[in-house]
Structure formats: C-alpha cells, structure tokens
Amino acid sequence: MTRLIVWRHGNTDWNAQARVQGQTDVPLNDLGRRQAVDAAELLVRLRPTAIVASDLSRAADTAAALAALTGLTISTDERLRERHFGEWQGHTMAEVAAERPEEHARWTAGEDVIGGGVETLEDLGKRVCDALQAAARLAPPGGTVVVATHGAAARSGVGHLLGWGREQLRTLRALQNCHWVDLTHDDSRGWQMAAYNVGVLGDRPVPPPV
C-alpha cells in the first residue's frame, strides 16, 4: 500500500487579507512558517520516504520544514501550482465580487468562470492529479510521500484522483492552511481517502491516523 499526504501550504499575508493568490508567488508569513514547523512535527511521525512540492515558494518553504526533520530532498513539480486565477490575482474576493459579479457568481456556484482568464476546474484537476500520481510513484512498497501544494489545487487534484464529480467535490470544505488529505492506494481497491483536513488546531495537535 502507498500512502500519499496532500498538504496545503502555511499562511501568507494574502491569505490573511482574503486576496486571490493563484499562481502569484506570495511567501509565507511568520504565522505560516510556525504552522509549517508544527505540522512537520506531526508528519515526520509518518516516516515519509519522499517529499514533493509546488515550485511556488509558499509551498516549497512549507515542505522545507519537513525536509529539515527528515533529511529528505524536496522534488518540485510546477503542475502542483495553485489554480491560475487570471485577472483575479492580486484582488480581494470582495473586490472580485463587486467588480466581476457574474464571474464571481459562477465561482461561488462551483462552475467554471467564463472570462478573466481563470483556469477551468477540469484543467486544474487533471494537471494536479497527474502530479499526484507521479509523486506516488516515488514511494517504495509501503512508502509514504508528502506533497506540498495549494488549497484549490489540492481539492481538485484529489477529487480527480478519486474519480469524484464536481457536485461531490463541493461537499468538501476548503483545506485550512497547513492541513492535509491522507490517501492510500493498493492494487485491489485503488485510491481511497483515509482523512481530510488533518492538522494542528491552535495549540492542540490533531494526530493523523496511523
């Protein structure tokens, strides 16, 4: 059985401002760096055999906190980047809702955004799913791979991997900063989700299943 941990990056100033990051390379803030260290102290217990990250710094630097504890080298994959939000990037969601109400309404409804250069959900899900499958192949038998990526990317990529439809995917809440999805794969059952939105809440650790 292969175990795949899909880990969202830590907090950034743009997260705190509800500003659309997309593929803009926004760094972790002090809170995000602390979150990465706290989460890494839980994830190291899973004895990961490989770490893969989006090449955007907020994900790569989150992964670095785990690499520091494991001694593993981080592989980067640009397919793990966040959804490209086109002309929305750099604007707050309140600004998008006010200035681009039709596009925002489609996004809120879980539909593809028409206009604004926003990446489609199908394209997003497929590219991240391809990256997750490539990451899983790095694991030896019984190994665990940790993948550091982004919120929308994680949800769509995992949904695509599990074969979920768009409506089913909408039942999942967004991943919190530095929380993760726990997936397993074997030849008889394929991909299965073991846990979702696992992480550290405040000062109270929520341990991953073992």
Instruction: Check whether 177 is labelled as a binding-site residue.
Output: no
Q: Which of 41, 82, 122, 160 is catalytic?
A: 82
Instruction: Check whether 127 is labelled as a binding-site residue.
Output: no
CA torsion, points 194, 128, 40, 93, in degrees to nearest 10? -100
**How close are the terminal C-alpha atoms of the chain, in Å?**
13
Instruction: Check whether 8 is labelled as a binding-site residue.
Output: yes
Instruction: Check whether 11 is labelled as a binding-site residue.
Output: yes
Annotation says 9 is catalytic? yes
Instruction: Check whether 13 is labelled as a binding-site residue.
Output: yes
* Coil vs helix vs strand at 137: coil
Annotation says 150 is catalytic? no
Instruction: Check whether 14 is labelled as a binding-site residue.
Output: yes
Instruction: Check whether 92 is labelled as a binding-site residue.
Output: no
Burial 34-66 (b: 16+ CB within 10 A, else e): bbbbbbbebbeebebbbbbbbebbbbbbbbbbb
Q: Which of 9, 104, 150, 160 is catalytic?
A: 9
- In this structure, the strands spanning 200-201 and 144-149 are unpaired
- Known binding-site positions for substrate: 8-15, 58
- Binding-site residue numbers are 8-15, 58
Q: Which residues are marked as active site?
A: 9, 82
